[in-house]
Each structure stands twice: as structure tokens, then as C-alpha cells.
A = this chain, B = another copy of it.
């Protein structure tokens, strides 16, 4: 593919390049390999050699400045954060079963991945620029990639509240899993906003503006918003609906996959849970009877509070159709809505309904070659090479 990506990615669009890994390969470990990490783009990748990259910091700052790659990477302390990025459209496929969503990709279970990001704290850069500390300000990011889907056509951008921008987890990152940030993921330098929808982690960032209100960029003012179900997204006004920012409490089932055929007997279910914007996961429940009764999954520890918690549970699968359901509770005792039908919205964002996959359990077979990938026991799942 020329992008350093594994061959089994599910490609929704070639240009802009939008692709997700099969859910089950995400279950192999907390950190997602570079060749597996999902790709969500709105335009063609810009090609910016590090020595040509610049970022301008301007707006409500005392000392507007322009940083080169050299100045950014050598002039500020480097910090690492393990953080999960999630596309706001992840799990849209379940919303599409409720009602069509024209013009939007049917992201399934894989528009989510986790990396160790390394870079400078955005707060340090804003401080170097003498940022104004008034309440209620926003920090807007602009990038050079032009998005044909925007109306009018424009370069990609977005913004976050200044209070979030000043938090220690928000980086201008130039490394991903100890490698130079790949071009496909925003290299040489991108914003990483842990706990927020992926759309705010602007790739190839070239301008950072401190300003009184949110960005007026199409992707902040019009897209990435929850509209009421009856709204027409084509005629919605800028600012209509609820702007997406911090992630909702969510979880998903990665193994087995939707529609998998699995042998009767012990079945280990794998998935992730994430509470959004730094909250913790209190519990993950798994049901094999559609949510009537629940068992608690085993939660793996997370490297940071910005990273997903992988979980697993072994149940006894009996032959016939089987519905697997999962739901997470955060550390304040809140849990997820039940049904995608109640969450359907015209742009298909932020589906955080109970996770549900349907599988078929086959009578026990002595022939392991009958098994599809999704039924492999954990020990056979290997990190992608």
C-alpha cells in the first residue's frame, strides 16, 4: 500500500485514506503497532520534510512565535503519553443498521488505536508564546491538508478549550511508539489531545491560534457535532448541535468478530473500555443472554489514564446462535446507553451504546482448520509483525 500498513486493513476510502484494522488484531496488546493503527483523513497527505516544517503560534499571545522542527524538538522538554485515539465515527456501522447515513464511512470496530506519543507539551509552547490566561478561551489548530468534503472546501482544522490545551497530557508529538511520527499519522508533527475525539488531534499542524471562541473551521463549526435525529445535516447552520470534545464512556468487543463461527466450549471474549477525558473504568460487564444477566470481565491495567483498558472473559459457548453484549461503568458509577437506535444521529457520531456482536456456535469439532480467525484462542493472536 506504500503507507507502511498491514495488508488486512479494511479500507473505506483510498483518497482520502480511511482504513481500520480488523477488530481482533487490536486485542493483541495495549499498544497498537504502527502498521495497524487506524487511519482517518479528510484530504491527501501533505509531504513536509522535517526541515521544512514550521508551526506558527499566534492570536491572544504576548509573543507570537514560529517554531522549526529543530526548535520544537530541542527547545522544549520531551514527554511521553500513552493515549488512545478514537475516531468519533467508530462503531458507526451499528448506527447504519438503524437508518442510513449517506456520505459517511461505515467504521466498524477498528477506528480506535493506542500509541505511545512523544513530544513537547502544548502548554510549554503556549507559555513560551506568552499565552493569555483568560477563562473561556480556545486554542485552534490548522493544517495544510485540504478537505474536499468541507463546504466550502478548506484545509483541515479544529479547536479545544484553552483549559484542556494547558493540561499536561496534550502534546505536539513527533514520535509514535518510539519511531519518528509517520507521515500517514501526521508526521513530522501533529497535535495529540488524549481523551478527546481523534478529530481534535490535528495532523501536520502548522498554525496554533489562541482565540475567544471555538474554531470556525468546517470540522469544528459544522461537522463532528451531534445533531438531533430529525435534522438535515446539509442545511444545518454553523454551531448547530452539540460539538464533540471529550469522549463518552464506551467499550467494544474485539474478539470474537461479528458473525464469527466458533466451536462450542470455552470462549474467551476480548475487548476494550475507555471512560474519556481521564476518567477511570470501574467495571466491565459481559452478558451472553442479551443483557439479562452479567458477569464481570477481567480488566487489564492501563499504562496511563489516557489509554484504553483491555478486558477479557472466558465463557462457555453452547451450540447455536449467541449474542455477546458488553457495557462499561466509569469510576463515578455511570454506565452506557443500551441501544444504538436511541443514539442514531444524522452524521453517525459517538455511538457508545452497549457493545454487541452476534456469533454462531458450532457443535464441537475435532478439526481445528474449521475455525475462522475470530475463534482463535488468545494465545494464537500475535502482535502484527
Contacts and interface: CB of A to CB of B under 8 A. Distances in A.
A302 interface: no
A245 interface: yes
Interface string A277-318: 100001101000001011010000000000000000000000
Interface in A296-348: 296, 329, 331-339, 342-343
Could you say how many copies of this chain the assembly holds? 2
A66 interface: no
B333 A349 contact: yes
Contact of A282 (B226, B247, B283, B335): B226
B350 A246 contact: no
A34 interface: no
A227 to B, nearest CB: 10
Given A226-B329, A242-B282, A245-B331, 4 more contacts: A226-B333, A242-B283, A243-B333, A291-B342
Q: Contact residue range for chain A? A: 35 or more
Interface of A: 225-226, 228-230, 242-249, 276-277, 282-283, 285, 291, 293-294, 296, 329, 331-339, 342-343, 349-350, 352
A298 to B, nearest CB: 14
A248 B334 contact: yes
Contacts of A230: 293-294
Contacts of A329: 226, 242
14 contacts: A225-B333, A226-B282, A228-B296, A230-B294, A242-B331, A242-B332, A242-B333, A243-B331, A246-B332, A247-B332, A336-B337, A337-B337, A337-B338, A338-B339
A349 to B, nearest CB: 7
